[in-house]
Amino acid sequence: VPSLALAWRPARLNMALAVMDRPDRSVEEQIKEAELLLEAAAHCADELRYEQLVSWARSIVDPLAASGHAPALWLQCTIPSTERLSPEDFDRAFLAQVEVAAAAGSIQAKFRLACELDEEPTRNDSARLFKEAAEAGHPYAMWCHGLNLLGGTGIARDETAGLRFIRLAAEAKFEGAIY
């Protein structure tokens, strides 16, 4: 009897593959398909199948990212690179990609960049990005922004607004805000 996890993976992959050949796919559907392919790749033990899944995802994401589509730019950041880079060069390249995606308006990229910048001397930039992501509905960013408001970290102190954002994060089921 196959486990539920094993049954789940092919079903998710089949969902992505079933619609890949449809020429009328919306951009949102294409992004979702690429996400499903990358999720399937993350659970794949077969190296050749892994490479094929990542390649399919890249073939969907790269043209959308080239057109400046913010969610595609963010997703492109998450696709494993084929380049062999030192850890320092990899970090620099990744951060540069995240900055491009954040500038294009990706909420996930703004949150990730805020996390990367959350120390002096870039704490004010971090607080601004946490605020933008929180106001766009990112639950973890709501919690971070709420904490920044409570402590006046990188932003003017406002306990009432801070507690409101933490409550919103808890309502959105962000675990850190619930406990």
Mean pLDDT (the chain) is: 89
Question: Model's pTM, two decimal places?
Answer: 0.81
Tell whether the model's pLDDT for residue 23 goes beyond 90. no
pLDDT for the residue 20: 56
Round to whole Å and give the CA distance between 64 and 70.
9
The span from the CA of 170 to the CA of 120, in Å, is 28
Residue 6 is predicted with a pLDDT of 45
pLDDT at residue 58, rounded to an integer: 95
Residue pair 57/41 in contact by the 8 Å Cβ criterion: yes
**Are 56 and 37 in contact, with CB atoms under 8 Å apart?**
yes
Q: Quick one: average pLDDT of 148-167? A: 97
101-131 pLDDT per residue, tens: 999 999 999 999 999 999 999 999 999 999 9
Q: 1: pLDDT confidence band, cut at 50, 70 and 90?
A: very low
Is the pLDDT at 15 greater than 80, yes or no? no
- φ/ψ region of 147 (left if φ > 0, alpha if ψ in -120 to 50, else beta) reads alpha
Structure tokens at 19: 């619609």
- Residue 148: closest CA among 172, 174, 130, 170: 130
User: How much is the pLDDT for 82?
Assistant: 79
Look up residue 65 and give its two tokens.
């990212």
User: What percent of the chain shows pLDDT beyond 90?
Assistant: 78
Structure tokens belonging to residue 84: 């062999």
| Type and span of the H or E element at 91 | helix 87-103
**158 vs 149: CA distance, rounded Å:** 5
Residue 130 tokens, joined: 């946490």
- In this predicted structure, the answer to whether residue 24 has a pLDDT above a threshold of 70 is yes
CA angle 123/126/127 to nearest 5° reads 90
Lowest mean per-residue pLDDT among 25-34, 45-54, 64-73, 170-179:
170-179
